[in-house]
Amino acid sequence: MLRTDWTRAEIRALFDLPFTELVFRAAQVHRAHQAADEVQLCTLLSIKTGGCPEDCGYCSQSAHHGSGLKAEKLMDVNSVLSAAAEAKAAGSQRFCMGAAWRSPKERDMPKVVAMIEGVKAMGLETCMTLGMLDEGQARTLADAGLDYYNHNLDSSPEYYERVTSTRTYQDRLDTLENVRNAGVSVCCGGIVGMGETREDRIGFVHALATLPRHPESVTVNALVPIRGTPLGDMLADTPMARVDDIEFVRVVAAARIACPMSMIRLSAGRESMSEAAQALCFMAGANSIFTGDKLLTTGNAGDSADAALFAKLGLRAMEGDEPMRVAAE
Ligand code: SAM
Ligand code: DTB
Ligand code: SF4
C-alpha cells in the first residue's frame, strides 16, 4: 500500500502546489492514516558528547570545528538510567540516546547494550544514534532489544557532499540497510536551512520516500546555527539564507504526503519557531516532538512551553505504538 516508487517530479509537484492546497492535502493524508490530535513525545540525551572525528558542517560536536564545546567521555550506565527515569516521569514515550561517534567501538558495546536493556526495562521505547553500524553491530543492538535507530540522510544526495566530507550518502544508506535487516525500526530525516536549494529539499524528501521501506520516524530539523561551525557561521553572517517558516512547513507537508504512515518529528530548531509556525507544522502532518529543555548540545522549547502549546492547540500526548510498527505486527 505504501508507495516507494515516488518520482522526483511528483515530489516537485507537491512543493509547487499553492501553500494552502499543499497543507490541506497533507492534513487529509494525515487524518486518513493517523490520529491527528496525537503527538508523540520523545526525549534526547547525549551519552557521549563532542570530539567527533566526522566533519558535518552544522555540528557543534565535530572535532574539526571550533564550536568551543568540551568533549566528554561515554556516560556511565546509572547516570543514563536516571535521566531516562526523569524523562518517563515527564511523560515521554521514547528515550533517544546520541553519541558523537563515527561508529561505535567494540569496547563501548557492553555499556551501550546495558543502557538499552536498562531503559527498556523502565517501560520506555529505546532509540540510539551512534553513527555508522556494520551488520554485526546492528545485530548486537537488536539483540539487546533496541526499538529504533536514528541515522539521517540530512539532505539530497547532491547537497550531502557539501555538508560532510568524511563519509558518503552511500555510507548512510548502507547503515540504514544494516539497521533494517537486523529488524530495528528506522528513524531517518534531515536538516532544512543549510543553504540548500528547493531542489535539494525535493531530493531529500524523495530519498526518504524511495527507501526500500519508509522510515517509521522521519525527523525534520531546522538548522540551529552554531558559531564556529561552517554552516552556523554562514547562517549567522547571512541571515537572508534562513529558510522561512512557509518553506519549512512545505517540507513537512511533502514528507507527510509521501510517507503517510510514518511519524514526522519536528526536531531541532523548534525553540526559535513561533507557536503559529509550529501549529502549521502540526496541521501539515507533523506528529512528534522532542520534549525537555535540551536536545543534544543545544536548547529546546521545554516542558512548560510545550504543555501550554498543546493546551492551546488541543493536542495530546500519543500513547500507542507508531502506526508502521502496529501494521507490521
Ligand atoms: N553522530 C551521529 C550521527 O551523526 O549519525 C548521531 C548524532 S547527530 C548530532 C544526529 C543528527 O542531528 C544529525 O544527523 C543532524 O541531522 C542533527 N543535527 C546535528 N546538529 C544540528 C544542528 N546544529 N541543527 C540541526 N540539526 C542538527
Ligand atoms: C535528529 O534528527 N535530531 C536530533 C536527533 N535526530 C538525534 C538531534 C538534534 C541535534 C540538534 C543540535 C544539538 O543539540 O547539538
Ligand atoms: Fe559527529 Fe554526528 Fe555531529 Fe556528524 S552529526 S559531527 S557524525 S556527532
Q: CA dist 50 to 149, 165, 223, 275, Å?
A: 20, 18, 18, 31
Mean pLDDT of the chain, nearest integer: 94
Angle between helices 198-209 and 8-15 (to 10 degrees): 130
Strand pairing category for 185-187 and 148-150? parallel
Examine residue 70 and state whether it is found in any structural domain, yes or no. Answer: yes
Looking at residue 325, its pLDDT comes to: 75
The pLDDT confidence band at residue 304, using thresholds 50, 70 and 90, is confident
Tell me which of 5-9, 90-94, 142-146 is least confident: 90-94
- Would the pLDDT of 239 be above 80? no
Q: Can you name the residues that pair with 127 across neighbouring β-strands?
A: 96, 148
- Would the pLDDT of 169 be above 90? yes
Average pLDDT for 239-253: 90
Examine residue 168 and state whether it is found in any structural domain, yes or no. Answer: yes
* Nearest to 317, CA basis, from 306, 325, 329: 306
Looking at residue 91, its pLDDT comes to: 85
Looking at residue 236, its pLDDT comes to: 83
Helix (H, G, I), strand (E, B) or coil at 51: coil
Q: What is the pTM of this model?
A: 0.96
Distance CA 317, CA 329 (A): 22
How many other CB atoms sit within 10 Å of the CB of residue 233? 16
The pLDDT confidence band at residue 213, using thresholds 50, 70 and 90, is very high
Examine residue 89 and state whether it is found in any structural domain, yes or no. Answer: yes
Helix (H, G, I), strand (E, B) or coil at 316: strand
Average pLDDT for 242-257: 95
- Would the pLDDT of 229 be above 80? yes
Which residues does a 6 A CB cutoff place in the pocket of ligand 3?
Answer: 52, 54, 56, 59, 61-62, 100, 131
Ligand 3: which atom is nearest the Cα of residue 102? Answer: 7
Examine residue 325 and state whether it is found in any structural domain, yes or no. Answer: no
Inter-residue contact 163 to 57 (CB < 8 Å): yes
Q: Does an H or E element contain 264, and which? A: strand 263-266
Ligand 1: which atom is nearest the Cα of residue 222? Answer: 25
Ligand 2: which atom is nearest the Cα of residue 150? Answer: 6
What domain range is 47 assigned to?
Answer: 8-319
Looking at residue 8, its pLDDT comes to: 98
Q: What percent of the chain has pLDDT over 70?
A: 100
The reply to whether ligand 1 has any atom less than 6 angstroms from the CB of 230 is no
- Among positive and negative, which fits the CA dihedral 120, 122, 123, 126? negative
Looking at residue 248, its pLDDT comes to: 97
The CATH number of residue 56's host domain is 3.20.20.70
How many whole angstroms from 257 Cα to the centroid of ligand 3? 29
User: Residue 314: which region, alpha, beta or left (left: phi > 0; alpha: psi -120 to 50)?
Assistant: left
The pLDDT confidence band at residue 241, using thresholds 50, 70 and 90, is confident
Which three-class secondary structure string do you get for 113-156?
HHHHHHHHHCCCEEEEECCCCCHHHHHHHHHHCCCEEECCCECC
How many whole angstroms from 295 Cα to the centroid of ligand 2? 6
Residue 260 CA, chain-centre distance (Å), reads 17
The reply to whether ligand 2 has any atom less than 6 angstroms from the CB of 268 is yes
Q: What percent of the chain has pLDDT over 90?
A: 85
Helix (H, G, I), strand (E, B) or coil at 235: helix
Looking at residue 86, its pLDDT comes to: 92
Strand pairing category for 94-99 and 38-48? parallel
Examine residue 328 and state whether it is found in any structural domain, yes or no. Answer: no
Average pLDDT for 232-261: 92
The pLDDT confidence band at residue 238, using thresholds 50, 70 and 90, is confident
- Would the pLDDT of 58 be above 90? yes
Domain count across the chain? 1
Examine residue 128 and state whether it is found in any structural domain, yes or no. Answer: yes
The pLDDT confidence band at residue 303, using thresholds 50, 70 and 90, is confident
Kindly report, residue by residue over 274-290, the tens digit of the pLDDT: 999 999 999 999 999 99
Looking at residue 26, its pLDDT comes to: 98
Q: CA dist 8 to 126, 193, 256, Å?
A: 33, 20, 15
- Would the pLDDT of 302 be above 90? no
The pLDDT confidence band at residue 321, using thresholds 50, 70 and 90, is confident
The pLDDT confidence band at residue 237, using thresholds 50, 70 and 90, is confident
Q: Catalytic site residues? A: 52, 56, 59, 96, 127, 187, 265
Kindly report, residue by residue over 68-115, the tens digit of the pLDDT: 999 999 999 999 999 999 999 988 899 999 999 999 999 999 999 999
**Which grid coordinates are listed for 238?**
547571512
The amino acid present at 80, given as its one-letter code, is: V
Distance CA 167, CA 317 (A): 37
**Which grid coordinates are listed for 227?**
558559531
- Would the pLDDT of 1 be above 80? no
How many whole angstroms from 151 Cα to the centroid of ligand 1? 9
Q: 20: number of CA atoms within 13 Å, CB side?
A: 0
Q: CA dist 212 to 38, 136, 173, 175, Å?
A: 27, 21, 10, 13
Examine residue 24 and state whether it is found in any structural domain, yes or no. Answer: yes
The reply to whether ligand 1 has any atom less than 6 angstroms from the CB of 225 is no
- Would the pLDDT of 216 be above 90? yes
Looking at residue 235, its pLDDT comes to: 86
Examine residue 107 and state whether it is found in any structural domain, yes or no. Answer: yes
How many whole angstroms from 49 Cα to the centroid of ligand 3? 10
